[in-house]
């Protein structure tokens, strides 16, 4: 079984995908970590994330363990990730590793922005997880604060809106729900309720 979980920043897709992976015993890939690690490599080299040459070089040279670095989780790395993600050659460089992961024997679960549309258009289950921008910005701000990040809520909200727009409006693999995706709005759901709703969607699809 292949499960695709897409959605915007801090919609709850990561938590949902991780829990589904444990529940259905599937290997899990957070594809955003590939874009974040690429962006961090560009920043570490002193280059501009919007510089296509530098970003493509970073994506092509990405080491497997780069996605485990805690520094890819900062708000700055997230903002830079959405800039490298606009570049078609960067997406192309990261395509095979995502496809290979998804189509391993036994299936997998991946979360991102274009899993149900581009990486796994034939996924068995597709979820598109959404929530109000203010709710998402507050969630991410609280997560980052707990890790010692000094970003303000106002800055987090403006980054959220900026990232939503950039991810949804890019020409290559824009963030959008696949036609056959099930929409899950987590705005007023607790984590447990969101996860339970996602499990119910997967189980319903399995029965169908």
SS3 of the chain: the string is CEEEEECCCCCCHHHHHHHHHHHCCCCEEECHHHHHHHHHHHHHCCCCCCCHHHHHHHHHCCCHHHHHCHHHHCHHHHHHHHHHCCCHHHHHHHHHHHHHHHCCCCCEEEEECCHHHHHCCCCCEEEEEECCHHHHHHHHHHHHHHCCCCCCHHHHHHHHHHHHHHHHHCCCCCCCCCCCCEEEECCCCCHHHHHHHHHHHHHHHHHC
The 153-192 contact track toward ligand CDP, x by CB under 6 A, reads: ----------x---x-------------------------
Number of residues that bind ligand CDP (CB under 6 A): 17
Q: Which stretch binds ligand CDP (CB under 6 A): 16-24, 57-65, 74-82, 187-195?
A: 74-82
To ligand CDP, the closest distance from the beta carbon of 192 in angstroms equals 20
Q: Which stretch binds ligand CDP (CB under 6 A): 55-63, 78-86, 143-151, 176-184?
A: 78-86
Query: Which listed residue (2, 4, 26, 31) binds ligand CDP by CB under 6 A?
Result: 31
- The site for ligand CDP (CB under 6 A) is made up of 9-10, 14, 31-32, 35-36, 78, 81-82, 85, 112-115, 163, 167
């Amino acid at each position: 079984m292949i499960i695709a979980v897409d959605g915007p920043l801090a919609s709850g897709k990561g938590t949902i995908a991780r829990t589904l992976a444990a529940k259905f015993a599937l290997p899990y890939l957070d594809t955003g970590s590939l874009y974040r690690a690429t962006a961090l490599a560009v920043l570490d080299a002193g280059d501009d994330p919007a510089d296509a040459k530098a970003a493509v070089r970073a994506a092509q040279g990405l080491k497997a363990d780069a996605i485990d670095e805690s520094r890819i989780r900062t708000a700055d790395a997230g903002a830079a990730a959405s800039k490298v993600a606009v570049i078609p050659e960067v997406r192309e460089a990261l395509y095979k590793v995502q496809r290979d992961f998804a189509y391993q024997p036994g299936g997998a679960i991946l979360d991102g922005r274009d899993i149900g549309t581009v990486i796994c258009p034939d996924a068995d289950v597709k979820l598109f997880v959404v929530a109000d921008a203010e709710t998402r910005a507050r969630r991410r701000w609280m997560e980052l604060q707990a890790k010692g990040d000094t970003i303000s809520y106002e800055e987090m909200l403006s980054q959220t809106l900026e990232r939503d727009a950039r991810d949804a409006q890019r020409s290559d693999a824009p963030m959008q729900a696949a036609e056959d995706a099930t929409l899950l709005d987590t705005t007023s759901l607790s984590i447990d309720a969101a996860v339970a709703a996602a499990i119910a969607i997967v189980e319903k699809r399995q029965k169908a």
